[in-house]
């Protein structure tokens, strides 16, 4: 059951915001409701936008740079 296996939040990132490199203790999935941003992971930069799913493994350093205002659904595997 998804609800029992994940914690869920909706995150808002302002246009131009930069989230410095960080990690999460658990695997994270994101769904982009709106906006566009770049994700820097493993020295690679990829742009994501509305409709994209993103998977970030546990303990993987990553950073975010918002090109526009972004709204994300975030799910953390428990």
Give all strands (DSSP E) within 1-78, no chain letters. Answer: 6-13, 18-22, 28-34, 36-41, 44-49, 53-56, 62-66, 70-77
Return the percentage of the chain with pLDDT > 70, whole number: 96
Q: Does the pLDDT of residue 2 top 80, yes or no?
A: no
Q: Does the pLDDT of residue 44 top 90, yes or no?
A: yes
Please check whether residue 75 is in contact with residue 28, taking contact to mean a CB–CB distance below 8 angstroms.
Answer: yes
């Amino acid at each position: 059951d998804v609800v029992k296996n994940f914690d869920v939040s909706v995150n808002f990132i302002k246009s131009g915001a930069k989230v410095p490199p960080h990690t999460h203790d658990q695997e994270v999935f994101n769904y982009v409701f709106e906006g566009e941003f770049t994700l820097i992971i493993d020295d690679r930069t990829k742009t994501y936008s509305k409709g994209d799913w993103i998977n970030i493994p546990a303990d993987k350093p990553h950073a975010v740079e918002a090109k526009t205002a972004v709204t994300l659904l975030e799910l953390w595997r428990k």
